[in-house]
A and B are shown apart, each in its own frame.
Chain A
Amino acid sequence: MTAFTLDVRGVTKRFGDGAAGVEAVRGVSLAVEPGEIVLIMGPSGSGKTTLLSMMGALLRPTTGSIHLDGIEISALSESRLPEIRLRRFGFIFQDFNLLSALTVLENVAIVAELGGVGRRPARAKATALLSDLGLGERLDFLPEKLSGGEKQRVATARALVNDPTLILADEPTANLDSKIGHEIMNLLRRIAKDQGRSVVIVSHDQRIRDVADRVLWLADGRFTDVDAMATDPVCRMSVERDRAVRTERDGETFYFCSRGCREEFLGRLVPSTG
């Protein structure tokens, strides 16, 4: 038995057959410990979403295996997966995906009820969770009446209500402003550290790197050493040092996603140094 919450071993996902087939994820391995926050970054089309879907038992790998709490979820039959997703995973989506017809309280309680909890205890649990996340005054509000940050906190409460061991978050700060995004990340960190839940986040957002225990870079379906990455000082995008446009100033090397960013960077420097 592994001590890891999540253990991804040599996972590959291929879409289509023959020459037209595409390998979205290639031989990826990853182990996540209890209470650990792993941030997976990478450019669009790098395979982040496919990997997240496989880790969340929403997509079956072509080869390799995925273990959650020692259970090989990639080998389970389709009929068993909803139960696993419901009880062992907490999902946080980029667009929140709250049920628009239900109130804040009902959005959270319904997931507990799906997990077999009775109506009353489900509502009590949801109320406690939401109050803990600062939404005690918003229980009867419909999602449309909430701010982006409040919606994401409701989504977080929904992800936690069945006491999952692993939380999977897909671009959790994408639709939030900087301050609220930071609050949400701190909330996820608190959850991971206080409650010992593992958190895997897929994001483009450089600002949340400092919250993660580990940052992984996915490019072309493979993890790349994060030390081989640099941040474009203009657009803040992560770029591979080997492939990036670069320039040296005062003995320091700067890496850019494009010539445009380099030109802008150099243009900014000229007046200050000239």
Chain B
Amino acid sequence: MLLARRNLFRDRTRFLLTVAGVAVSIGLILLLAGYRSGVYRQASAYLDNTPGEVVVAERGIRDFLGTSSALPAGAEEAVRQTPGVERVIPVISQFVIFERHGRKDGFFLVGYDPARGGGPWKLAAGREPAADHELVIDRTAADQHGIAIGDAISVLDRTMTVVGLSDDTTFWAGSIAFARISTLESLLRAPGLRSFLLVTPAAGVTPMALRDRLAHPATEVLLKSEVVANDRKLLARVYDAPIGLMVAIAFLVGVLVVGLVIYTATIERRREYGAIKAIGARNRALYRVVTIQAFIAAAIGAIAGVGLAYGGGAAMMAWRPQFRVDIEPAAIGVVLAASLLMALVAALIPARLVAHLEPAEVFRG
């Protein structure tokens, strides 16, 4: 342990470069994982913040964000009449393009009934829409487009006025905006349209029991958690491959940094290791020296990397508020374990070098 520590700290510049290399690698892994978690959390933000344990959708629709849903006429009334139902929140959802100063963008427009819920859960400024030409939009989106309360924006063929700004309503494909349910019926020219029903079971009724009770051939009835999971699967198809690739590259960079530094440090001290081996040190004692060096470098680098990820995440969210970075404790545990794995892999080649050292070489000038 002493020899490992001293070997590692002897050349401070090299040690700091190793730590920096690992920190960047671990920080990047954590930042990417945090970004992915943030994307998932943003994607489920509406369902997470709206009451209801069971979701009723059009037959075949199993996610909230990916597709449009149109429930059959009378579905809402049928659900409301079902025993064990305490509350039903009907919503219409539609991805729409809006225009402001000639610049177009999209948002996920949710139509809701203010009397029954389903609207913005964190109103940062203004109020909820009280008339059909009124709208609440996401504050970050409003900042990006220079929209303030009282401004008018074009949505489809209407001009609407922004009356409120909401927080926590950005997500991977844009942001969420809120209007009255009648506004959506009118905009989409579909009176009585309902996309989803968010159903809360009465006391004593489990969500699963209610789901089974609500089952109907014309509709899709799922637990809210199932819908969230399906939305995540949808996102995973888009995000997981590139993020996974970047994480793998970052991990590889970390392994190479630690491996290369420990390898060169071992090569430099080849003769010293040979001498210790000649004196009587066993291979396992030398493996331990090499591996501990890699572990120390990786562990300190990983701790610095966690700090770097938090700092990087905060900077990213300040710079681009639509991106959310959620660094979860479990992810920190995983990257710390990954850094140990990194050290183990990085120590393999130097350990092999030490194992093949011929102790008699020390007598050959």
A97 touches B3 (CB 8 A): no
A89 to B281, CA, bound (A): 13
B365 at the A/B interface (Cβ < 8 Å)? Answer: yes
B276: A residues at CB distance < 8 A: 99, 114
Which residue on chain B has the smallest CB distance to residue A171?
A: B365
A102 touches B2 (CB 8 A): yes
Q: Classify the secondary structure of A's interface with B.
A: mixed
A86 to B282, CA, bound (A): 10
Among A28-36, A50-58, A184-192, A265-273, the one that faces the other chain is A50-58
B281 CB to closest chain A CB (Å) equals 5
B364 at the A/B interface (Cβ < 8 Å)? Answer: yes
A106 touches B2 (CB 8 A): yes
B18 CB to closest chain A CB (Å) equals 15
A149 to B363, CA, bound (A): 19
A97 touches B271 (CB 8 A): yes
A115 to B285, CA, bound (A): 12
B275 at the A/B interface (Cβ < 8 Å)? Answer: yes
A89: B residues at CB distance < 8 A: 280
A52 touches B280 (CB 8 A): no
A7 to B273, CA, bound (A): 29
Contact residues, B315-365 vs A (CB, 8 A): 359-360, 362-365
A93 touches B363 (CB 8 A): yes
Q: Quick one: which of B9, B278, B365 contacts A85, CB cutoff 8 A?
A: B278
B7 touches A101 (CB 8 A): yes
Contact A53-B3, Cβ < 8 Å, known A85-B279, A95-B271: no
Q: Classify the secondary structure of B's interface with A.
A: helix
A218 CB to closest chain B CB (Å) equals 14
Q: Quick one: which of A59, A87, A101 contacts B6, CB cutoff 8 A?
A: A101
A74 CB to closest chain B CB (Å) equals 14
A231 at the A/B interface (Cβ < 8 Å)? Answer: no
- A82-101 CB mask vs B (1 if < 8 Å, else 0) is 11111101010111011111
A97 touches B282 (CB 8 A): no
A115 to B335, CA, bound (A): 38
Q: Quick one: which of A56, A58, A82, A94 contacts B282, CB cutoff 8 A?
A: A82
A52 to B363, CA, bound (A): 8
B271: A residues at CB distance < 8 A: 95, 97
A49 to B360, CA, bound (A): 9
Contact A83-B363, Cβ < 8 Å, known A97-B271, A100-B10, A110-B2: no
Which residue on chain A has the smallest CB distance to residue B265?
A: A101
A170 at the A/B interface (Cβ < 8 Å)? Answer: yes
A244 to B276, CA, bound (A): 41
A82 to B282, CA, bound (A): 6
B272 at the A/B interface (Cβ < 8 Å)? Answer: yes
B288 CB to closest chain A CB (Å) equals 11
B281 touches A97 (CB 8 A): no
Known: A53-B363, A93-B362, A99-B269. 4 other contacts (CB 8 A): A52-B363, A85-B278, A99-B6, A114-B276
List the interface of chain B (C-beta within 8 A of A). Answer: 2-3, 6-7, 9-10, 269, 271-272, 274-282, 285, 359-360, 362-365
Q: Please, could you name 19 A-B residue pairs with CB atoms under 8 Å apart, sorted by A?
A: A52-B363, A58-B363, A59-B360, A83-B280, A85-B279, A85-B280, A89-B280, A91-B275, A91-B279, A91-B362, A93-B363, A94-B363, A94-B365, A99-B6, A99-B275, A100-B269, A101-B9, A115-B280, A158-B279
3 interchain residue pairs of minimum CB distance: A86-B280, A97-B275, A101-B6
